[in-house]
Amino acid sequence: MAIAASAPVQRRRINQARFSPWLYLAPAILTLVVWIYWPLVDAFRLSFFQWNMLPTSPQTFVGWDNYQRIFALPKFWQALRNTGIYVLGLLPLAVLIPLALAIYTHDLSPRLRNIYRAIIFVPMIIAPVVAAAVWRWLLDPNYGMVNALIEWFGAEPVKFLSDPKVAIWTIIAITGWKLIGFSTLILSAANANINPALLEAARMDGASKWEIIRDIRLPLLSSSVLFLVMMTILLGAQWSFGYINVLTGGGPLGATTNIYYLLWDFGFSTMSVGWGSAAAVILFLGFGALAFVLFRLIDRYSFHDN
Amino acid sequence: MTTDAIKAQLTLARPLRRKAAEGIGLNSAAGHLVMVLLSIVCLFPVYWMVATSLRPANAIFETSLWPTTMSLENYTYALDSIPILRMLINTLVVSALTTVVQLLTGLLAAYAFARWRFRFDSLVYTAVALTWLVPFQVVMIPNYLLIAQMGLLDTISALILPNFASALAILLLAQAMRSFPKEVVEAARMDGAGSWRILWGVMVPNLRGTIASLAILIFISTWNEYFWPLLLTRTADNSVIQIGIQMFMTSEGNQWGPLMAASTLASLPVLVIYIVLQRQVIQSFMKSGIR
């Protein structure tokens, strides 16, 4: 009788195990499919059409035309090159300087360290638009504080946002300003997690401070460093998007346009859905390939404590 | 080891240790200097924003570190020229709703991953994780068209809808639930609790810390969000505060005073959260990476 009673219970449990997970997953999956996966497919489809986004105007199939045109566009190559500059320019600010700071400041007293932590984290929580507004004010060629300081030292004021040679570095610096505290904290946390016994042992063996950094700290920090490098490469140009939009609009003369901004420009300034979608597909494929390679590299090259 | 050897080591170690201590003293002075400089770089722009916003209109271009005379002129001007209060309320509604809904869908989905093994489970998990890597700019045109088709352009709900679920919330919660002791869940099941009751009665109360830090993160990032609202909103009354700030920056010129006042108002809620919950805010950002 006990067996007879347990059989339906068992069956119910199996049925439950079959359907329940999907019920719990449904709201999340539905959202992600509707707002991310379906749009990806749709972007792919639209990249073969010519259309100006007006519901009344027809969508004309143009095959690979959009792609050909984009690859023939000097603006596209300029944006691609700038995307590279953004990433390379951000690496020192988002990884190298924070790494040096984290190692250099590891023996500060915990009390003061907490105060510094709290302060250098502030840019991270400030909204990108607010950051852009404030820097626009600080960098104003006529009345900005930064130029006041430069003139006080006797140098010529700099047109931070309207000089084509300078503008991209200004945007990179502002993006870096938002990130530098955050990266420093990530690396400080990793640095503080290093087993003190290892350092003590090395010190006993007569290793110099520099040798300890080179042979123990850096290898043990490598997974955090690789993580930050990957984030910077994958997302660096994306972080700068807000500042480009608010501060330069991609100009002067396209000097600050990157690939993300170009997408925006195609889609919503020129209202060319086909170009925008084709650029989106190119970006997505490139981004995916890069992410794949980076994840493989991290798997292979990161060291672990134990 | 003989006592002699230990003694020898101790005498050797003593001068060494003193030398190390001196090194640390000097180094930490330099370390403090570096950190103080970095702190100034990080904090000054925020300070300057508040300081400028408090100067009277005729003293906006003054460079004294402390405003010589203070006035709320910029704030009254900003409040008069655009519906800032309305925008702040809109932003609050959007951020609060997004936080609650994203936590809900996140908890449900995470529970499914943590509780059961089912067909395609790792495939679905990977598919969820991959959405985290899709740049917003890639899907923005189709998303915009969808919102337009639904007739939701220029509405508050359009700002919330696409953020009903996020990979970040699902993944973080699933991680937390997986490290939750299985015995506790098993014990609850023995007591006859169904999966729904185990989730809300056992899991959720025990994950308060993770949920709270995730809530902070979602709220702050939604509050700071700019591009989706920029695409969708047409009228100031249906906009969020980040769009309001932008209205004081025009190609004809900037109204620095009101611009700084609006920026200060937009940052105030986030800064208050930060000052009150500083440790949790830092932790939640660090746990989730950048984005």
Q: What is the pLDDT of residue A208?
A: 82
Domains of chain A: 2-46 (no CATH), 73-301 (1.10.3720.10)
Q: Which residues of chain B have pLDDT under 70?
A: 1-28, 251-252, 289-291
Q: Are B28 and B20 in contact (CB under 8 A)?
A: no
Residue B11 confidence (pLDDT)? 42
Cα distance between residue A237 and residue A85, in whole Å: 9
| A33 in contact with chain B, both atoms CB, cutoff 8 A | no
Delimit the domains of chain B by residue range: 3-53, 74-288
Per-residue pLDDT reduced to its tens digit, A190-217 = 888 888 888 888 888 888 888 888 888 8
For A220-235, b/e burial (b = at least 16 CB within 10 A) is bbbbbbbbbbbbbbbb
pLDDT of residue A16: 60
**Quick one: pLDDT at residue A138?**
92
Nearest to A26 by CA among B39, B109, B264: B109
CA B206 to chain centroid: 23
Across the interface, of B39, B112, B267, the residue whose CB is closest to A126 is B267
- Read off the pLDDT of residues A223-270 as tens digits, 9 standing for 90 and up: 888 888 888 888 888 888 889 988 888 778 888 888 888 888 888 877
Considering only CB atoms, B24 lies closest to which of A107, A179, A235, namely: A107
Give a three-class secondary structure readout of A7-70: HHHHHHHHHHHHHHHHHHHHHHHHHHHHHHHHHHHHHHHHCCEECCCCCCCCCEECCCHHHHHH
Quote the minimal CA–CA distance from B61 to chain A in Å: 6
ipTM of the complex, rounded to two decimals: 0.85
Among chain A residues, the shortest Cα distance to B64 is held by A145
**Distance, in angstroms, between B76 CA and closest chain A CA?**
19
Assigned fold of B74-288: MetI-like fold (1.10.3720)
Q: Does A141 touch chain B (CB under 8 A)?
A: no
What are the pLDDT digits (tens) for A110-167? 788 888 888 988 999 999 999 999 999 999 888 888 888 888 888 788 888 888 888 9
Of B118, B285, B289, the CB nearest to A231: B289
Q: pLDDT band for position A13 (50/70/90)?
A: low
φ, ψ dihedrals at A98, nearest 5°: -60, -35
CB-CB contact of A109 with B20 (8 Å): no
> What is residue B249's three-state secondary structure?
strand
Q: What does the pLDDT read at residue B25?
A: 54
Alpha carbon distance A281, A276 (integer Å): 9
Digit-coded pLDDT (tens) for A19-74: 888 999 999 999 999 999 999 999 999 999 888 877 778 888 888 888 988 898 88
Look up tokens 């230990």; give the residue.
Answer: B6
Chain B interface test: which of A12, A18, A22, A36 (most B C-beta within 10 Å):
A36
**What are phi and psi for residue B254, nearest 5 degrees?**
-110, 140
The DSSP result for A80-103, as a single string, is HHHHHHHHHHHHIIIIIHHHHHHH
* Distance (Å) from the alpha carbon of A109 to chain B's nearest alpha carbon: 9
B201: nearest Cα among B192, B223, B210, B25: B192
A299 to chain B, any CB pair closer than 8 A? The answer is no
In this predicted structure, what is the pLDDT of residue A140?
86
User: Contact at 8 Å (CB) between B133 and A287?
Assistant: yes
CA distance B31 to chain A (A): 5
pLDDT for res A92: 93
Q: Check if the beta carbon of residue A120 is closer than 8 Å to that of residue B42.
A: yes
- Say if A31 is an interface residue toward chain B (CB within 8 Å): yes
Residue A1: per-residue pLDDT:
40
